[in-house]
Amino acid sequence: MILVTGGAGYIGSHMVWLLLEKGYDIVVIDNLEKGHKKAVLGGKFYNGDLKDKEFLEKVFSENDISAVIHFAASSLVGESVQNPIKYYYNNVYGTLNLVDTMIKHNVKKLVFSSTAAVYGEPENIPILEEDKTQPTNPYGETKLAIEKMLKWMDIAYGVKFVSLRYFNVAGSHPDGIIGEDHNPETHLIPIVLQTALGIREKVIVYGNDYNTKDGTCIRDYIHVIDLCDAHLKAMEYLEKSNKSEIFNLGNEMGFSVMEVIEKASEVVGKKIPYEIGPRRAGDPSILVASSQKAQKLLGWQQKYNSLETIISTAWKWHSTHPHGYEE
């Protein structure tokens, strides 16, 4: 059985869907602080928290778990600056408990959800896995701390892990059965689509004085299903190679904030109002990944990587669920 932590979240719920599609037997845990029970389309569900050792012990003793895909984490950059204790507690301590329980139950394969935020302000574009890691906020810092912790867990106890550093994850299941529902929503594509729906008055573009072609920030948007597919390939890699590894997961294509707004206007067939605002603290001007390593070692190939597909699948979800899972 595969254990998915954080399986009721945006990315976790797409992972659950994909694992079910592929016929895996799964156990899902989520504390439902941010996740939605309705987003979990199957598997055996436990509502609980990684900080609760007894809870983890129960899950591992009741199920024959062979590998773990670990999404459960707090992931808001701004909140992490305001409240680093929450981030160290949920992310670092939570993962420590998880790994401790895995070792006790002789489960030694872990796919870990990391982030491009470990790099901070990049030195080179595209960013390579061996580039300098210098997070500029506690969120990225906790993810990097976990990667370092996992290295020592491998050396001491043979826990093999694949850490996947995500760039900007977006899009949704093409049928719109599950999708992105954050509260508060901070990500560009859902904000743009909520504006198209009239739920928001306008998009505030965080700065147009960056050193880029149109002055707005450039990001590497990757489709959530391509991302989840890389997790399946990472599990297969752990089975085959029994070696720990770190991979970037991105599209290798950068799009500016203005390009996203323009493409979204095309997809929804109407103008989306926006206004140029001040820069957001801590935003690097350009973040684009090299995903060559994942392509070569995992045999990963993207299927949904055009900006049009990313936005139109997200639109499928938002236009049919304007208030997310609430309805």
Contact residues toward ligand UDP (CB under 6 A) are 168, 186-188, 191, 203-206, 217, 219, 257, 280, 283
Distance in Å, CB of 257 to ligand UDP, minimum: 4
How far apart are the two ends of the chain, measured CA to CA in Å? 32
Q: Which of 10, 87, 139, 166 is catalytic?
A: 139
Query: Of 86 and 187, which CB lies nearer to ligand UDP in the complex structure?
Result: 187
Which residue from 83, 89, 147, 92 is spatially nearest to 114, judged by alpha carbons?
147
Distance in Å, CB of 280 to ligand UDP, minimum: 5
Tell me whether residue 139 is one of the annotated catalytic residues.
yes
Query: Of 41 and 253, which CB lies nearer to ligand UDP in the complex structure?
Result: 253
Distance in Å, CB of 247 to ligand UDP, minimum: 18
Query: Of 183 and 327, which CB lies nearer to ligand UDP in the complex structure?
Result: 183
Distance in Å, CB of 279 to ligand UDP, minimum: 8
For residues 36 and 8, the answer to whether their CB atoms sit within 8 Å is yes
Q: Among all residues, whose Cβ is closest to ligand UDP?
A: 217
User: In the chain, helix, strand, coil percent, each to 5?
Assistant: 40, 20, 40
Query: Of 202 and 323, which CB lies nearer to ligand UDP in the complex structure?
Result: 202
Query: Of 153 and 203, which CB lies nearer to ligand UDP in the complex structure?
Result: 203
Which residue from 207, 221, 261, 33 is spatially nearest to 116, judged by alpha carbons?
221
Distance in Å, CB of 202 to ligand UDP, minimum: 10
**Cβ atoms within 10 Å, residue 21:** 11
Lookup: tokens for 273: 């109002």
The DSSP line for 232-300 is HHHHHHHHHH---EEEEE--S--EEHHHHHHHHHHHHTS---EEEEPPPTT--SEE-B--HHIIIII--
d(CA 3, CA 62): 12
Q: Which residues are catalytic?
A: 139
